[in-house]
Structure 1
Amino acid sequence: MRLRSKGSILIAGALFLSMASSAQKVKFTEYDLDNGLHVILHQDNTSPVVAVSVMYHVGSKNETPGLTGFAHFFEHLLFEGSKNIKRGEFMKIVSANGGSNNANTTQDRTFYYEEFPSNQLKLGLWLESERMMHPVINEVGVNTQREVVKEEKRMRVDNRPYGHLMEEVFKNLFVKHPYHWVPIGSMEDINRAKLSEFQAFFKKFYVPGNAVLSISGDLDIDSTKKLIQSYFGPIPGGPEVVQPSIAEMPITQEIIDTAYDANIQLPAILTAYRTPAENSKDAVTLGMISSILSGGASSRLYKELVDDKKTALQVACFNYSLEDYGAYLTLAIPNGTTPLDSLLKDIDANIKDIQTNLISEQDYQKLLNQAEMSFVNSSNSNLGVAENLANGYTFFNKNTNHINEQLKEIRSVTREQIRDVARKYLNKNQRLVLYYLPKAK
């Protein structure tokens, strides 16, 4: 049933706010082992499953020029095996015991996880402790994963339509900061890197004091603590990891650039603005501005450019939040022969309207509903809860309880703040304009 009237929308919003307000608070237990490993436990006995995760505070930001792509490389390399797990057996052990596993890397962290029936919690802990304590890092594994990473880059970047778009954005937005390159890094760097350099990278960053063990699901707190001490307690603490602190000069003049992609037939116009770190309230507000502009078929840009004018096939806005900075992006792909500058003009006009006028109360209520639904959806699984808890500790000043404060942060954003944040960050003299064009093969 679609709610069309203003009154119906407000009633629906009130009902959603009521449900969100009564949502159960995520309870957790957290503590540190003597070696510095931070542990977070969330008990949820509603279903017999458990998620075991380790978040290492290491991403492409921790690399140096000439040695890029290391963090993403280790996302793969640490599945090679360990002192007690034969090469190629890690994933087989997981699947043979009814589980699933994966890992992912960003500019700021690497996240490994397993999901198991809860009677295999012990196995999940053992696997992650093996990965941390004594993985096998040798020439065989390194050479194997070199080829794996090359193939991934070919599939996901080099041969994928618009695959180099983010690379073009970040190399323009950041000059000094390691966000200048993307996590996949340079294949040339990976190819010429020595085994000793990979081993040194592991010893520096994959240590207990630079990690969070976050577990959510059907578990008993006391018995889980004993298992954790047994498997992770003996791991040496390692050196203290100091995160880089590199400031960028403000962008004060519009940057205009052009990139070419042999994998596309349709051009795109993109703008990117450098924005503040993810732990700032302004980052929350910028995410809400994205919803106003392109959050679904009823959003401003979609209705205007795709539905009404039919000048765009696709339009999107989002705030790419990271630990040190962020990037606010707008993207449009033209319909037919629509000039890219025409799309840019319409996008700019919509941003200008947000900078000038307060959004209506009705739109504000809709925006809160969307933001809260997005938050609820991000924590509707044990894995989602485990990751959100680890994120709070790692990126929000060791505030694991951030998971329970996000809705309050969203609701505290006013219409005036939406206008003011748009005025502060989304100006033409603070941005990159990128023309992303087809290139003949």
Structure 2
Amino acid sequence: MKKISIGFLLVMGALPAMAQKVKFSEFDLSNGLHVVLHEDHKAPVVVTSVMYHVGSKDEVPGHTGMAHFFEHLLFEGSKNIDRGQFMKIVSQNGGQNNANTSQDRTYYFEVFPSNQLETGLWLESERLMHPIINEVGVKTQNEVVKEEKRLRIDNSPYGNLISSVFSKLFTKHPYRWPIIGSMEDLDNTKLPDFLAFNKKYYAPNNAVLIVAGDIDPVKTKKLVEAYFGPIPKGSAIPRVEVEEVPITTTIVDTAYDANIQIPAIIAAYRTPGMKAKDALALDMASQILSGGASSRMYKKMVDQKKNALQVAAFNYTLEDYGAYLTFALPNGNQNLDSLLEDMDEEIARLQNALISDEEFTKLQNQAENDFVSSNNAMQGIAESLANGYTFHGNTNYLNTELDRIKSITRQDIQDVAKKYLNKNQRVVIYYLPKKEAK
């Protein structure tokens, strides 16, 4: 019999294409865990995932990198899973798994054939109920994280670009340090610190469990109650709001990267967090500027003037704030200031005139296509449901987000450009090759 891969099943599970509303049920366990069930029988696949409302912004100076470190550490094992066996159990049962950390949350997921639903629930409950956190695991993962930092950031071209920008764009908020943190901080963080972080943030009342796919909701609810119900509730977590002082004059800085030969120029603007309607309008503004070969910045700088190898404008939206970045790589010996001038001219065009009807129609179509593409697989649906609950307090946000996108007008796009994308409100970074010491 021919073996069917999880990848094929995931594609089959993508067929709903989000043209229809995503149906789900939700409930809370007595320990505060929020549970969302999405039933879809188009493919024999199930996703089990847990999103914890903890990211790098929940760290404190001197202990940065802990949230990302836990993304690794909680694969070490548990009372009932021997060290190093977690991922082996997943693969032996025909599944795939991964995890990722942002400034605002940590997300774990497994994709299994639907007959392994209970395996997925057991694994995630073990991670939450009684993980083994000891000196051996901390030391092992310390080396893993250091190697990841070397490969993905320190030795990767432009690997420190975003952190260079954020360190200037934010002066008070924890967004100012990178997700992976400081290796010096992790070396100085001791076992009691890790245990305290786990106890504070890895609690059922700080998490949402999503089970999506080929499930029977009644049976699944009973399994969830059996595996997650006995886990003790954690203490309430105080959320500290950190307000940044507005930027009122251009901040200019230089950063160096030994891994690049081509310099870059970046202009970054502090923008509102993801709950604001303005964040959606800024997303659409970035599509006008650099969303494909027909976008304004690309046509002007790459196609016509040929002074740039690459240009980009994007809204890096987070929970508390966002960062709107414009970016360019010069073609040959082009002056970086001239590239900044060209990008500024295109932002000024957005500020001074409404985009055309033709541009707007194309923009709406592209926004809808991007939304559908990001939510057309079971894994994408599961994460979107988790995001809705975690960041908007509304699991149904997934079913209303496209309407919110469609409600953005040409005037809204012009207004956000005028409000947020001004020269006196930004950070400009000259990102340069680091010269070898003589």
Give the TM-score normalised by structure 1.
Answer: 0.95
Cα deviation, 1:272-292, whole Å, max 9, x if unaligned, reads 000001011000000000000
Hey, what's the Cα distance between the residues in 2 that align with 1:38 and 1:244? 22
Distance in 2 between the 1:239 and 1:217 partners? 32
2:10 maps to what in 1? Answer: none
The answer for the alignment partner of 2:207 in structure 1 is 211
Tell me the equivalent position of 2:141. Answer: 145
Counterpart residue number, 2:8? none
Distance 2:291 2:18 in 1: 25
Which consecutive unaligned segments of at least 5 residues does structure 2 have? 1-15
Between the aligned partners of 1:167 and 1:364, the Cα distance in structure 2 is 33
Q: What does residue 255 of structure 2 align with? A: 259
Match of 2:427 among 408, 414, 432: 432
**For structure 1, which runs of at least 5 residues remain unmatched after alignment?**
1-19
Distance 1:392 1:330 in 2: 28
Q: Distance in 2 between matches of 1:284 and 1:429?
A: 23
Aligned to 2:286: 290
Task: Give distance in 2, aligned partners of 1:23 and 1:87.
Answer: 43
**What is aligned with 1:112?**
108
1:190-210 deviations in whole A, cap 9, x for unaligned?
011110100000000000000
SS at match of 1:83: coil
TM-score by length of 2: 0.95
- Tell me, in whole angstroms, the C-alpha distance in 2 between the residues paired with 1:32 and 1:229: 10
Counterpart in the other structure of 2:412: 417
Q: Distance in 2 between matches of 1:356 and 1:202?
A: 50
String of CA shifts for 1:257-313, please: whole Å, max 9, x gaps.
000100000000001000001011000000000000000111111111111111100
1:401 aligns with 2:388: no
> What is the CA–CA distance in structure 2 between the aligned matches of 1:280 and 1:33, rounded to whole Å?
30
Cα offset for 1:22?
A: 8.8
Structure 1 distance, partners of 2:17, 2:312, is 30
Partner of 2:240: 244
Residues 30-71 of structure 1, C-alpha deviation per residue, up to 9 Å, x if partnerless?
111000000011111100001110000000000000000000
Inter-partner Cα distance in structure 2 for 1:98 and 1:22: 26
Letter aligned with residue 390 of structure 1 = A
Find the partner of 1:387 among 373, 378, 383. 383
Match of 1:372 in 2: 368
1:23 Cα deviation from its structure 2 partner? 1.4
Aligned counterpart, 1:80 = 76
Cα contact 2:18–2:375 (8 A) shared by 1? no
Q: How does 1:38-437 map to 2 (within 5 A)?
A: 38-396=34-392, 398-437=393-432
How far the C-alpha of 1:341 sits from its partner, in A, is 0.5
How many residues are matched? Answer: 421
Deviations 1:210-250 (A, max 9, x none): 00001111101000000000000000001111222111111
Describe the SS at the equivalent of 2:359.
helix
1:380 and 1:68 map into 2 onto residues whose CA distance is 35
**After TM superposition, where is structure 1 displaced by more than 4 Å over at least 4 residues in a row?**
none
For 2:107, give the aligned amino acid.
Answer: F
Rounded Cα–Cα distance in structure 1 between residues aligned with 2:38 and 2:276: 26
3-state SS of the aligned residue for 1:405?
helix
What CA RMSD, in Å, does the superposition of the two structures yield over aligned residues?
Answer: 1.1
Deviation at 1:21, TM superposition (A): 12
Using the TM superposition, name which of 239-248 and 148-157 deviates more: 239-248
SS in 1 for 2:94: coil
CA distance in structure 2 between the aligned counterparts of 1:105 and 1:221, rounded to whole angstroms: 29
C-alpha contact 2:269 2:426 (8 A) present in aligned 1: yes
